[in-house]
């Protein structure tokens, strides 16, 4: 059964190679035809076809082909045949896709055509075993050849049928290995080079570093603004109140008593604002008890009915803890404020095989969350990207919404939480 399934896959891959060769004609026409928008349309179709090859290679053979980076140039029309050719080949990834569609898919198609062809030719031999004698004598075909066998009567037809069964069996037997060879060929032809991977990595690090610097600068400005408009203003008012009390100490003791009460209230308010500010920078429960208890505290303070599941044998590194905590806090806030949710589930665990901290936040709200719409999810994505983390959002209309986060990290310190 496994080999029959592999044969069907080989047949599917062969048709994809045929489609790729036909798509070469479409791209060629797009280059030479001055129709607005035709070339970008052909290039996008070519990429979808190649992405299909990548996905099938990973799904059917377990061969992971390097992810294709986005083209460095915009998907825009250009004028002139030379400019169009440059547009098509100036990006390395697009050039590999073009070569695959134009050349390599033909070779890969031949690879998977071997088992399909053997089975098809074997079935033709079986057909000749049943009807070859009739076609060569009564139908007047003047004899039929099957490899080196001249089918003229029943015995020679049976010989062709036996040989056909052997060839068909060989095709079925070869199908799995040919599908795997096709997948390896796809990886060789389409995987980005080490230089491109390194360049993409450098670009990613530069972007995340810039985001981290911008985020830190914005956070410092926020702290400065909160101090200036909040605690500092209250402390200045308290100082003025004490100064007024000092001038009235001898003349109006009752007024001084009221001013001192006002100063005491200002002092308490300033202290509370400073505590809130410190908690916004780095919650004390996070520093003292770790991420697990900080998330539990966050769930208790949430207006939603929250359920927290934690599987952390030890604490992550402090920067990762802080980033993940505030990412979860933003997600919980979004669920309560925008999703109109009633219940919330938070799952927090460490995957030792992948060496990553995995978080899942699910709510029963109305859904429709999209990082591309400039919501807080985009900020979460940038925050996690600083640590090479990723964010995945599944939020169909009507809900529920599931937000998954994964951040590479090592559990560095002993377990100090109650989880």
pLDDT per residue as tens digits for the range 393-409 = 888 887 788 888 888 88
- Residue 148's region, left for phi above 0, alpha for psi from -120 to 50, else beta, is alpha
Say yes or no to pLDDT of 384 above 70: yes
- pLDDT band, residue 44 (cuts 50/70/90): confident
With contact defined as beta carbons under 8 Å apart, do 276 and 309 qualify? no
Sort strands 343-351 and 305-311 into parallel, antiparallel or unpaired.
parallel
Q: Residue 124: its pLDDT value, please?
A: 87
Q: Residue 417: its pLDDT value, please?
A: 42
Mean pLDDT of 138-152: 72
Say yes or no to pLDDT of 328 above 80: yes
DSSP 148-201: TEEE-SHHHHHHHHHHHHHHHHHHHHHHHHHHHHHHHHHHHHHSPPHHHHHHHH
Q: What is the mean pLDDT of the chain?
A: 77
- Spatial distance between the Cα atoms of 359 and 345, rounded to a whole number of angstroms: 10
Question: Does residue 394 sit in helix, strand or coil?
Answer: strand
Report the half-sphere exposure of 118 (CA within 13 A, side-chain side): 20
Cα end-to-end distance, the chain, whole Å: 47
Report the half-sphere exposure of 42 (CA within 13 A, side-chain side): 25
H/E stretch holding 264 reads: helix 253-281
Within 51-176, strands assigned E span: 144-146, 149-151
| Predicted structure pTM score | 0.51
pLDDT per residue as tens digits for the range 172-230 = 898 888 888 888 888 888 877 777 777 776 776 676 666 666 666 666 676 667 666 66
- Spatial distance between the Cα atoms of 406 and 80, rounded to a whole number of angstroms: 46
H/E stretch holding 266 reads: helix 253-281
Question: Does residue 12 sit in helix, strand or coil?
Answer: helix
- pLDDT band, residue 128 (cuts 50/70/90): confident
């Amino acid at each position: 059964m496994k080999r029959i399934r592999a044969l069907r896959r080989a047949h599917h891959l062969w048709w994809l190679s045929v489609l790729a060769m036909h798509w070469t004609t479409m791209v060629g026409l797009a280059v030479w035809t001055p129709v607005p928008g035709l070339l970008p349309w052909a290039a996008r179709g070519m990429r979808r076809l190649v992405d299909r090859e990548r996905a099938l290679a990973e799904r059917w053979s377990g061969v992971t082909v390097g992810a294709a980076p986005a083209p460095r140039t915009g998907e825009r029309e250009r004028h002139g045949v030379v400019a169009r050719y440059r547009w098509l080949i100036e990006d390395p990834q697009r050039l590999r896709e073009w070569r695959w569609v134009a050349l390599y898919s033909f070779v890969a198609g031949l690879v998977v055509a071997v088992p399909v062809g053997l089975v098809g030719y074997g079935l033709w031999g079986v057909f000749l075993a049943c009807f070859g004698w009739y076609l060569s004598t009564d139908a007047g075909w003047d004899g039929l050849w099957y490899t080196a066998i001249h089918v003229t009567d029943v015995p020679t037809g049976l010989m062709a049928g036996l040989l056909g069964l052997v060839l068909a069996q060989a095709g079925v037997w070869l199908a799995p290995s040919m599908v795997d060879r096709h997948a390896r060929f796809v990886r060789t032809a389409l995987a980005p080079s080490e230089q491109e991977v390194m360049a993409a990595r450098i670009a990613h690090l530069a972007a995340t570093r810039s985001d981290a610097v911008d985020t830190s600068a914005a956070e410092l400005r926020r702290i400065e603004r909160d101090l200036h408009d909040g605690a500092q203003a209250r402390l200045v008012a308290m100082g003025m109140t004490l100064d007024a009390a000092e001038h009235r100490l001898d003349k109006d003791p009752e007024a001084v008593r009221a001013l001192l009460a006002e100063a005491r209230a200002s002092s308490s308010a300033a202290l509370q604002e400073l505590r809130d500010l410190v908690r916004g920078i780095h919650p004390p429960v996070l520093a003292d008890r770790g991420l697990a208890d900080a998330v539990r505290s966050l769930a208790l303070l949430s207006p939603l009915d929250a359920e927290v599941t934690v599987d952390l044998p030890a604490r992550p590194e402090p920067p990762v803890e802080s980033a993940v905590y505030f990412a979860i806090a933003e997600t919980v806030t979004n669920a309560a404020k925008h999703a109109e949710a009633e219940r919330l589930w938070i799952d927090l665990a460490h995957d030792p095989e992948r060496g990553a901290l995995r978080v899942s936040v699910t709510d029963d709200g109305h859904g429709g969350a999209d990082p591309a719409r400039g919501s807080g999810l985009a900020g979460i994505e940038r925050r996690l990207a600083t640590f090479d983390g990723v964010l995945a959002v599944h939020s169909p209309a009507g809900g529920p919404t599931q937000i998954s986060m994964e951040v590479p990290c090592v559990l560095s310190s002993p377990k100090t939480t109650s989880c």
